[in-house]
């Protein structure tokens, strides 16, 4: 994978995270208003925030370089390290 393809993947991941963050904020604001005005409880809001938040956190880690630490390339890097150690 060349440098441009890596850069495109990272930019796409950042854009995906930002779009999901905006959607998360908008939808949860609407659900919060509905919860306060009509339902008089917060259970729906808390469930949506929690489960959608898990996905949002995953998008964040994929977008901001944490995927390089334990992501898809991690296994390949470790294999190359072991090969280089065995060759010495």
Query: pLDDT of 12-68, one tens digit each?
Result: 988 999 999 999 999 999 999 999 999 888 898 999 999 999 999 999 988 887 655
Given a cut of 60, whether residue 2 has pLDDT beyond it is yes
Count of structural domains within the chain: 1
Say how many Å lie between the first and final Cα of the chain, rounded: 27
Range in 7-11, 28-32, 35-39, 84-88 with the lowest mean pLDDT: 84-88
- Asked whether 18 and 26 are in contact (CB, 8 A), the reply is no
Higher pLDDT, 69 or 34: 34
Residue 81 CA to residue 2 CA, distance in Å, equals 20
pLDDT at residue 7 in the model:
80
Residue 76, domain extent:
3-87
At 88 the three-state DSSP class reads: coil
pTM above 0.75, yes or no: no
């Amino acid at each position: 994978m060349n440098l441009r393809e890596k850069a495109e993947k990272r930019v796409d991941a950042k854009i995906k995270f930002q779009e999901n963050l905006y959607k998360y904020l908008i939808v949860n604001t609407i659900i919060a208003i509905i919860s306060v005005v009509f339902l008089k409880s917060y259970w729906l809001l808390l469930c949506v925030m929690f489960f959608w938040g898990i996905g949002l956190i995953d998008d964040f880690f994929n977008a901001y370089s944490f995927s390089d630490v334990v992501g898809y390339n991690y296994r390949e890097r470790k294999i190359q390290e072991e090969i280089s150690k065995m060759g010495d």
